[in-house]
Structure 1
């Protein structure tokens, strides 16, 4: 009978923010919703990104029919290069989402082999036993969809990231009617975005930031530097409209912003009047009060254009006393230090910095629905089973409480990464787990490598306790030690004359009690030195540095 059950298996995004990836399986057919990445916590030293563990998919590679993308944010598409290099399957997304994906795959030299298929809201896609209808939703990015997946046991509705905006700047509103129709037909399971479950009320429309931004444009006497997320096309469009109204030329600086504005113009989401946008090289020839510089780096990323401009290290963007810098974005948790450090540099330049300006009007609105929008969606579709997605454990738990309090859902299920949920027409039961390790990627240098847990453990060890290198010169033929041992210490604050001289004696003693045969066998003598020195250091300092004996062959 288990063959007649629909399996839902989250590989990422349930229990953390980012790395969204959900698997649906019916017998021998699998579809995947989203393929995101996550930026690492501080303890993952030297790791650039974290992507989902797709070993379940690679083990069932012949069954995977495709990857369906809800929208183009990094936490939904960022893992694609890694996944497609292991598993080349068709990728479905809206026009704008695929434009982002193309750039990403081109960067990783995967575009030529990729099979990218455009999906249009309202138009059905058949993938084996799954019939998928994308439904237009609004978010902080354009061209976003929820997915209504018709399966042999009922409809599974995955909201993707959404808020209910009925008057968005691109005049493509949230499709309430389609969700209401689904509700009438009956929905087996609703998988709903939990990001803003802590926020009461409704999330304001994207248009709500216009009055405060208009005021800032009117009050700014010199250059205005405007920074927002490069994917916030609505915000970029609004800034360009205000620049035109206030008689300012627009220069775009920063690779991510450049790419986004180019894609948005190609696809008709941005249509600046002729002559409004100038080259960065023309900044110096434009009067300060006639200039808007759109610049990337809202999160204080070390090599971003705004971070470099803040320390006067950018070719075109020079921030001077009296200029205004507007950060039209939220502070992503974990980025506080780098953002406030950058703001300090800007303040040193006597620039006026406007950020998180809630007191005197909105300069940023969220792209995620607050509590009332989450309730509205549950009421519209009235699902039999409710499963919160996209959030830390506390968000998922709070979301369950919200759904239970409404009294319209038959059963709520809290899933975490790796859980297997088996659903029939009237049942939903957790039946086990698939392995989901976090896959850490180090993309520094020419190659992109997976960083093993052992490497991260070594990096942490080095950062906390330092390293000791005992250096000994030994004649391989005779086993004779040619001179007194040297000791190099890095990352440990210890007195040169005390501990180090005693450590040298410990090494010398080990050498003295070792036979010529042992000394000629480098593997044996290295291990003996390491073991004796480790015991001595631990006893005298309570620290456990990495000890790596170096034998110089004479």
Structure 2
């Protein structure tokens, strides 16, 4: 690819994470060396019917895998590590550098997927990794999961800092961000800052986790019945605090939800959570008095299959709601999930359960991402010449660029990029270069990349208008239609209530098939096409709908 033939320039580009919240994957390339930062997954929108995950396009990496020096992980959230198992099946990655918590999560993920990979190196804030042209070091940051880091890449053309996910919390539950190291690196000179933009639209500072700590402690002291808390399983510091609060209030903890169980298991193993004896099984929880137990579960976003949804529906086999229960949503709605959360809240209300959600009066959740003032602080500490906002929708990237301008970075030195667009850095100057194709890759079950837009379009049509199958038997040799045409539908109309319409469609199909069989140049493909081409507008005219029309033609050869 001519775009990458100049060995003097340092190239910076994203394979995911721009124009979206998730699927983070960023690459820095100099000469014959490529380092990758993160390999995340994006959970699909409702419109991507049947799709399990959206992952980055690994085409460029596959074509250049001999240049890859390693994959560097900022922290252990799914939007940063969730596609590693797919990456390792597609591209040869010589080594993965990851902080402790992320390394444990990655190993667990690979074991679950039966993928053997042994070269995971754990780093900390003192680690330095040197290659021929590139040198990598790390800065501790504050996020909602332990062992979160910014990554510093020193190149022949300048220093690049990729922040990972961060916030500035001056009274955190976990360790403080290393402000002093950030300032030192900023004083040395940062050419390009790649800074996350998730909360770039939110003014002020994000709420301190210690404020959430105080609110939850107060709620625990005031509730006499059983407490059920739904929160993000990945928010390890929140889990740590909830468990410590339970211990202070003499409550045992029962875990519901597979992802919650995994995070607790790893947190215990890593020492983030100390007391193993506080945990009980669901059966043991049922035997305790309500005021002696807390249920910690997934489902804070109203996910239909999550633990809290099952409990609210009354379908969980182990736990049944009590009128004296209190349910706490220690989270904020992710955009697009408000309706699902509302459904769960209404079901809980119907059962007479008291609920608490995150409001200005109930500060029971704090974001792990920095608001505008924190993004400004990062800009002031790093003092970059250039800014490339990352990890956000385009409106977030634009807002972040505006913040940079307010912090004295020239507008022309900010770059709002798309996945596949390339920045070139040479002698401390950064410019926008050309681009290369970079697509979303869909994962459907065990199939990776086999599902394209055509399949998604067909699924949408079937979901909206259903499918109509035209079944007929013919004798191709004699060009005869044998018997009548059968029509069957799914998701289009109720058969018993639309017999007249289906009879009209049957007669129309009969006419089309008989006419086509009389054609001297008759063939199966043309017959199928003609059935679709004539039946589809006929149905559209009759019903205003356009189901998928599927002809099924069987050639019956007479024995005589």
- Same fold? TM cut 0.5: yes
Q: How does 1:6-85 map to 2 (within 5 A)?
A: 6-85=10-89
Q: In the alignment, is the contact (CA less than 8 A) between 1:518 and 1:524 conserved in 2?
A: no
Aligned match of 2:389:
388
Aligned match of 1:245:
248
Aligned match of 2:311:
309
Aligned match of 2:208:
205
Q: How does 1:415-494 map to 2 (within 5 A)?
A: 415-443=417-445, 450-493=450-493
Q: Using the TM superposition, give the Cα deviation of residue 44 of structure 1 relative to its aligned residue in structure 2, in angstroms.
A: 0.9
Is 1:365 aligned to residue 370 of structure 2? no
Q: In the alignment, is the contact (CA less than 8 A) between 1:120 and 1:134 conserved in 2?
A: yes
Supply the distance in 2 between the matched residues of 1:146 and 1:511 (Cα, whole angstroms): 66
Cα distance change of structure 1 residues 481 and 136 upon mapping to structure 2, 3 Å threshold: same
Supply the distance in 2 between the matched residues of 1:377 and 1:384 (Cα, whole angstroms): 13
Aligned match of 1:525:
527
Cα distance change of structure 1 residues 257 and 57 upon mapping to structure 2, 3 Å threshold: same
Supply the distance in 2 between the matched residues of 1:278 and 1:428 (Cα, whole angstroms): 56
Q: In the alignment, is the contact (CA less than 8 A) between 2:480 and 2:517 conserved in 1?
A: no
Deviations 1:454-494 (CA, angstroms, capped at 9, x unpaired): 21111112223322212112234433222121222333348
TM-score by length of 2: 0.94
Supply the distance in 1 between the matched residues of 2:541 and 2:253 (Cα, whole angstroms): 65
Aligned match of 2:103:
98
Q: In the alignment, is the contact (CA less than 8 A) between 1:165 and 1:205 conserved in 2?
A: yes
Supply the distance in 2 between the matched residues of 1:387 and 1:141 (Cα, whole angstroms): 24
Aligned match of 2:155:
151
Task: Compute the RMSD of aligned alpha carbons.
Answer: 2.0
Supply the distance in 1 between the matched residues of 2:64 and 2:368 (Cα, whole angstroms): 35
Supply the distance in 2 between the matched residues of 1:351 and 1:542 (Cα, whole angstroms): 45
From 318, 321, 325, the counterpart of 1:319: 321
From 126, 130, 134, the counterpart of 1:130: 134
Q: How does 1:101-112 map to 2 (within 5 A)?
A: 101-110=106-115, 112=116
Supply the distance in 2 between the matched residues of 1:489 and 1:243 (Cα, whole angstroms): 55
Equivalent position SS for 1:207: helix
Any gaps of 5 or more consecutive residues in structure 1? none
Aligned match of 1:139:
143
Q: In the alignment, is the contact (CA less than 8 A) between 2:13 and 2:420 conserved in 1?
A: yes
Q: Using the TM superposition, give the Cα deviation of residue 18 of structure 1 relative to its aligned residue in structure 2, in angstroms.
A: 0.5
Cα distance change of structure 1 residues 275 and 504 upon mapping to structure 2, 3 Å threshold: closer
Equivalent position SS for 2:153: strand
Q: In the alignment, is the contact (CA less than 8 A) between 1:283 and 1:316 conserved in 2?
A: no
- Count of residues in correspondence between the two structures: 548
Supply the distance in 1 between the matched residues of 2:256 and 2:530 (Cα, whole angstroms): 58
Equivalent position SS for 1:549: strand
Q: How does 1:255-334 map to 2 (within 5 A)?
A: 255-272=258-275, 275-334=277-336
Any gaps of 5 or more consecutive residues in structure 2? none
Cα distance change of structure 1 residues 346 and 127 upon mapping to structure 2, 3 Å threshold: farther
Supply the distance in 2 between the matched residues of 1:277 and 1:512 (Cα, whole angstroms): 72
Q: Using the TM superposition, give the Cα deviation of residue 518 of structure 1 relative to its aligned residue in structure 2, in angstroms.
A: 6.3
Supply the distance in 1 between the matched residues of 2:516 and 2:201 (Cα, whole angstroms): 66
Q: In the alignment, is the contact (CA less than 8 A) between 1:88 and 1:114 conserved in 2?
A: no
Q: Using the TM superposition, give the Cα deviation of residue 521 of structure 1 relative to its aligned residue in structure 2, in angstroms.
A: 4.2
